[in-house]
Amino acid sequence: MAWVGKTVLVTGGTGSFGSRFAAHALRHLKPRKIIIFSRDELKQYELRTGGLDDPRLRWFLGDVRDLDRLRRAFQGVDIVIHAAALKQVPACEYNPIEAVNTNINGTRNVIEAALDCGVQKVMLVSTDKACAPVNLYGATKMAAEKLIVQSNSYTGDKGTRFSVVRYGNVVGSRGSVVPLFLNQRNNGKLTITDDRMTRFWITLDQAVRFVETCIDQMSGGEIFVPKIPSATILDLAAALAPGCKLETVGIRPGEKLHETMVTEDESRHCLDLGDRFLLKPLFPWWSEGDIVNANGHEPVAVPPGFVYSSGTNHHFLTVDEIRALLGELRLLQAA
């Protein structure tokens, strides 16, 4: 196992993904040490006292905007998972410079510190909103992806490798539509933006396992995209709150009807690996011979004009499947 005896650092380590990944790694991956890097001392305290406690854990206060602190934290680190970001679309629209400073400049700092400290692998956790972005959050994550991919040109003989995972909405994450609908159904009315809207859906545990396997598989410069189901907003509403009245309020600024994870332009350098897609970096230091076939599926080029969109996905969750998934995650509370 590539993880045994390694030191792993997670930026944004007190977030939903970071804390779940740390717990998963402690149980299954046998690392020597896991460093939780975040700027929120209260969340670190709550995680420690809430059960995420292990002698292999280290708790570092710091901000990805602070390059010196990153350099200190990255000493002796083998693998960095960069999950720190400002993620709320309205907050990023209202505070654009803050979004740029964290999501773009912070990513640059992660790259600089990783190169300076000889980190082996860096994986950026990105989002479908980085693909053909229409809001500032998506634009900053697109820029972060470009920085990470291109940084493989800077490694020289240091051997540091940088790659990206890009996936869709995490079911039930903070600030998402699931907790909103659960709260609204008590009043008998749900607000929806547009009844045509669709989204990709992935569970937090699926996201954690996907990132793990992509780090195993990466050789540097790839963008990995999971094959995951879509759901319509109407089916989600029917699953969460059957019988509730629906009020259409219109698409908010920075929102799309459908999300995309592979555009038609990207499809020209996209490979199908069975359970995921791989976007090849268009640089001379990478070739298809670099692919580590971790899932046993031979890479196949996608057909011309291919687009991976939540609106034209081959797999849509039914109302019953949504209810089963939410029940399994304990998100479908009794009305």
SS3 31: coil
What is the C-alpha separation between 212 and 209, in angstroms, rounded?
Answer: 5
How do residues 32-90 score in pLDDT, each as one tens digit? 999 999 999 999 999 999 999 999 999 999 999 999 999 999 999 999 999 999 998 88
At 61, is the secondary structure helix, strand, or coil? strand
**Whole-number Å distance between alpha carbons of 191 and 175:** 15
Question: 262-277, pLDDT tens digit by residue?
Answer: 999 999 999 999 999 9
Confidence class for position 334, pLDDT limits 50, 70, 90: very low
Out of 174-183, 217-226, 293-302, the most confident range is: 217-226
Percent of the chain having pLDDT more than 90?
79
For 72, other C-beta atoms within 10 Å of its C-beta total 13
Tell how strand 260-262 and strand 308-309 pair up: antiparallel
Percent with pLDDT over 70 in the chain: 96
Structure tokens at 236: 């989600």
CATH of 7-168+204-227+260-307, one of 3.40.50.720, 3.40.710.10, 1.10.10.10, 3.40.50.1820: 3.40.50.720
Its pTM stands at 0.94
pLDDT digits (tens, 9 = 90+) for 300-314: 999 999 999 999 999
Q: Choose, from 129, 141, 256, 280, the residue flagged as catalytic.
A: 129
pLDDT at 328: 79
- 30 labelled catalytic: no
Q: Is 289's pLDDT higher than 80? A: no
| pLDDT at res. 295 | 64
Task: Judge contact between 77 and 118, C-beta under 8 A.
Answer: no
> Hey, which bits of the chain come out as E strands?
7-11, 33-38, 57-61, 79-82, 121-127, 161-167, 169-170, 189-192, 198-202, 223-226, 230-232, 245-248, 260-262, 270-272, 276-279, 300-301, 308-309
